[in-house]
């Protein structure tokens, strides 16, 4: 199922067989704060941390797993499994930023713009909003605000925007009203 | 399988059941150029385009599909299916940027930093590099350059960095050399 628009290839070339959109990487100021947010508020799991002492940074690879035993226990196998699937979030920590009071990463929505947001889908948007409120999460936009109803935007600890939506409420998006 | 680090929740809270990391959004200057790149060079498919005429922007939702018939044909069902899965790339086109010669989005790696890159995993990194060369893709780093062997970084048409890796070559990443 490919919608045709200017520029679109009719079929994926054979040379791209097996390509997979694996992860998106965001730099974070304080990994303890970001890991608390992504593992508690959004329920992700840390699959692997890598330290690069010479270059003074660490990488954290996170995913939403359906089951505790989904990822291989062996560290090497788990690393290959992590890179072979979709839906991975990589957080990069450049050592020392967490102790600089004025240090702040750029969210991509203020100027200069580029990257916009990541998005989580949830089975029940109203319940998710209550959960975010319980956890004192900062909202860019609540579902009832703005033009796009049924879509919320929250902020992660670095200020990156996270869209939150409930898929079955958005079936009619982009279609003429009945 | 959750690695414990400062801040990490031991278990995903029950309130996060069914949450899914659905998509990442990047703004693009010229959708025809970006769609050619993502559907031809990376073999993605366009699942849905949404136009917001009043606000003068369009959204394109792309994914790597294993099979042509994986996504529902009905537009509403396909929209809900798109939002319910992982590995979606959303491209935002603010109308008119494509005709401004000096217009350029920010890649997040120059200052001010924030977002870093997206990543595709491929079954054969050497073959993927040949494919990128055939398609005159711009490299930030070839696999043999720099400290991280077996990892390439290419640029998309807006200059966003795309990491390219072969999962089974990275089993030993972060582990002491044997």
Question: How confident is the prediction for chain B on average, in pLDDT?
Answer: 94
Give the contacts of B49 (CB within 8 A, at least 6 positions apart). Answer: A3, A5, A174, B58, B59, B60, B61
A163 and A153 in contact (C-beta within 8 Å)? Answer: yes
Instruction: Measure CA B118 to chain center.
Output: 4
Contact with chain B for residue A101, Cβ under 8 A:
no
Give the contacts of A123 (CB within 8 A, at least 6 positions apart). Answer: A166, B17, B18
Looking at residue A94, its pLDDT comes to: 98
Per the structure, the complete domain to which residue B47 belongs is given by 21-66+74-105
Work out whether the CA dihedral A34, A35, A41, A42 comes out positive or negative: positive
Looking at residue A177, its pLDDT comes to: 55
- Averaged pLDDT, B140-156: 95
pLDDT surpassing 90 at residue B148: no
Render pLDDT for B68-92 as a digit per residue (tens, 0 to 9).
789 999 989 999 999 999 999 999 9
A122 and B128 in contact (C-beta within 8 Å)? Answer: no
CB contact under 8 A, A24 and B117: yes
Are A54 and A91 in the same domain?
yes
Are B95 and B143 in the same domain?
no
Task: For chain B, positions 105-144, list CB contacts with chain A under 8 A.
Answer: 105-108, 112-123, 127-128, 131
A23 and B151 in contact (C-beta within 8 Å)? Answer: no
Q: In what order do the strands lie in the sheet with B115-121?
A: A45-52, A57-63, A88-94, A20-27, B115-121, B161-165, B151-155, B139-141
pLDDT-based confidence at residue B118 (cuts at 50, 70, 90)? very high
pTM for the predicted model, two decimal places: 0.96
A29 and A103 in contact (C-beta within 8 Å)? Answer: yes
B26 and A116 in contact (C-beta within 8 Å)? Answer: yes
CB contact under 8 A, A21 and B65: no
Are B53 and B79 in the same domain?
yes
H/E run at residue A152: strand A151-155
Domain boundary among B50, B84, B105: B105
Are B54 and B88 in the same domain?
yes
Q: Which residues of chain A have pLDDT under 50?
A: 178
pLDDT-based confidence at residue B61 (cuts at 50, 70, 90)? very high
pLDDT-based confidence at residue B52 (cuts at 50, 70, 90)? very high
Looking at residue A2, its pLDDT comes to: 80
Q: Are strands B57-63 and B88-94 parallel, antiparallel or unpaired?
A: antiparallel
Domain total in chain A: 2
CB contact under 8 A, A107 and B122: no
pLDDT-based confidence at residue B174 (cuts at 50, 70, 90)? confident
Cα–Cα distance measured from residue B171 to residue B38, given in angstroms and rounded to the nearest whole number: 27
Token pair for A131: 């959960």
Are B88 and B149 in the same domain?
no
Render pLDDT for A10-24 as a digit per residue (tens, 0 to 9).
999 999 999 999 999
3-class SS string, A23-37: EEEEECCCHHHHHHH
């Amino acid at each position: 199922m490919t919608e045709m628009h200017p520029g679109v290839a009719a079929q994926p070339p054979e040379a791209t067989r097996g390509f997979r959109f694996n992860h998106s990487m965001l730099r974070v100021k304080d990994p303890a704060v970001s890991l608390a947010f992504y593992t508690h508020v959004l329920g992700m799991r840390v699959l692997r941390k890598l330290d690069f002492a010479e270059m003074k940074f660490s990488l954290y690879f996170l995913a939403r797993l359906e089951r505790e035993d989904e990822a291989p226990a062996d560290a090497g196998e788990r690393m290959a499994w992590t890179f072979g699937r979709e839906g991975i979030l990589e957080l990069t920590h450049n050592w020392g930023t967490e102790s600089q009071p004025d240090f702040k990463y750029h969210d991509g929505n203020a100027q200069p713009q580029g990257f916009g947001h990541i998005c989580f889908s949830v089975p029940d948007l109203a319940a998710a909003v209550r959960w975010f409120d319980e956890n004192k999460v900062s909202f860019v936009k609540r579902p009832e605000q703005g033009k796009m109803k049924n879509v919320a935007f929250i902020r992660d600890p670095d200020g990156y925007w996270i869209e939150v939506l409930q898929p079955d409420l958005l079936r009619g998006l982009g279609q003429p009203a009945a």
